[in-house]
Amino acid sequence: MTTTQEFTEGLDDLPYSVFAKACPSRGTLEHVTGRWGGLALTALYEGSLRFNELRRRVDGVSEKMLSQTLHALERDGLVHREAQPTNPPRVDYELTPLGRGVAERLLALIHFVEGSMDDVLAARERYDSARA
């Protein structure tokens, strides 16, 4: 088993630390791992989507929350927004190269979690039974 120290070895040399209170990386991590950010990023991994296509793909997200999420991800340089000068206006969203790198890592985590759900559900059942 790898210890945290072994896993983070060499990271002390980086100019940013998500563990530091004032580090700007915390905000980006929050945007990426928040309820909707990770889902938006991984949905866009499949390719460019219009706003409403993305909203349908990320089931349950409100228009307001998706808009706020996309603005934050665009500001962080993870998502590119392209507005077409048509009537009605057409807006497409796609991942930047940086966003693709983040989405690839999130997809690995998502696949791991989805593949482990039988174990997770069994653990929940044991936990709930022990407290009942």
Higher-confidence position of 17 and 28: 28
Predicted pLDDT of residue 2: 58
- 70, 101, 15, 18: CA torsion to nearest 10: 60
Q: Is the pLDDT of residue 41 over 90?
A: yes
Predicted pLDDT of residue 129: 96
Tell me the one-letter amino acid at 25: S
Which residues neighbour 66 within 8 Å (Cβ) at sequence distance 6 or greater? 36, 40, 51, 54, 55, 58
Predicted pLDDT of residue 16: 85
Residue-wise pLDDT for 45-101, tens only, equals: 999 999 999 999 999 999 999 999 999 999 999 999 999 888 888 899 999 999 999
Predicted pLDDT of residue 88: 85
Q: Name all domains of the chain by residue range, CATH numbers in brackets.
A: 16-131 (1.10.10.10)
User: Which DSSP state fits 11?
Assistant: G
